[in-house]
Amino acid sequence: MSGARSIFLGAILAVAVAMLDQGLVRLVEASGARDQPAVVLVLLLSAFLGLLTAVLTRAVDLPGAMAPTVLVLGWIVIPPLMGLIPSQATEIFAGSAELTATQATALVVSVLSATVTLGVSGTND
């Protein structure tokens, strides 16, 4: 597999992760959950996002280290870059690179979920 293909597909996955992350946060906020239930919802949805990212990484035959990288880029790097684009379409997904405690914990949970998913062998040896 070429490096350019991996970088291109990784960038697309990072943008998708950023969009899903912002959507999940807005979904939890719209649900009206407060304090502890909101944190639990964010953590569960983040674990699912990590699992989904790992499965997509395997499906498009990217290197295993790409899933955690994509998650970190999608959480920290892409939102400020979206904020630089003056458009109403990207405004929804814009954010800062500064993570709250809940967001940082959610990122750790999603990366661990992706790592565990990729570490599980798909064959019965």
* pTM recorded for the entire structure: 0.79
Q: Would you place residue 124 in the very low, low, confident or very high pLDDT band (cuts 50, 70, 90)? A: very low
| pLDDT at site 125 | 44
**16-36: pLDDT as tens digits:** 888 888 888 778 878 877 777
35-62 in b/e form (b: 16+ CB < 10 A) is eeebbebbbebbbebbbbbbebbeeeeb
Cβ-based neighbour number of residue 29 at 10 Å: 13
What 3-state class would DSSP assign to 25?
Answer: helix
Rounded distance between C-alpha atoms, residue 7 and residue 56, angstroms:
14
